[in-house]
């Protein structure tokens, strides 16, 4: 089983995100982005601003996309009327 790390993208990830977008024939993601890193490689990413997802089409990534969606799920806030995205700890099965 390959370990999976879900984390926010950093400026150093820009080249990996551009490569992943090119592999997926998609536009690069902008704004806040959440990554799924499997086996040391960025395998999927999701924009927290738009919900757009890019993933490596040559690898099984459906489970990684689901992890990203779970981690980015808005948590209800009692103090705010609009949902806020919060990173939630997720454990890959």
Please give the residue that has the higher pLDDT: either 52 or 81.
Answer: 52
Mean pLDDT of 71-92: 60
- Give per-residue pLDDT as tens, 18-62: 999 999 999 999 899 999 999 899 999 999 999 999 999 999 999
Q: Could you give the CA distance from residue 80 to residue 30 in angstroms, rounded to a whole number?
A: 25
Q: Could you give the CA distance from residue 43 to residue 62 in angstroms, rounded to a whole number?
A: 10
* 37 touches 45 (CB < 8 A): no
Question: Strand, coil or helix: what is 46?
Answer: strand
């Amino acid at each position: 089983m390959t370990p999976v790390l879900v984390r926010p993208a950093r400026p150093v990830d820009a080249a990996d995100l551009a490569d992943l977008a090119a592999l997926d024939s998609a536009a690069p993601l902008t704004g806040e982005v959440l990554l799924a890193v499997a086996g040391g490689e960025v395998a999927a990413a999701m924009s927290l601003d738009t919900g757009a997802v890019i993933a490596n089409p040559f690898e099984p990534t459906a489970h990684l996309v689901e992890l990203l969606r779970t981690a980015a799920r808005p948590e209800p806030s009692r103090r705010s009327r609009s949902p806020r995205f919060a990173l939630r700890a997720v454990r890959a099965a």
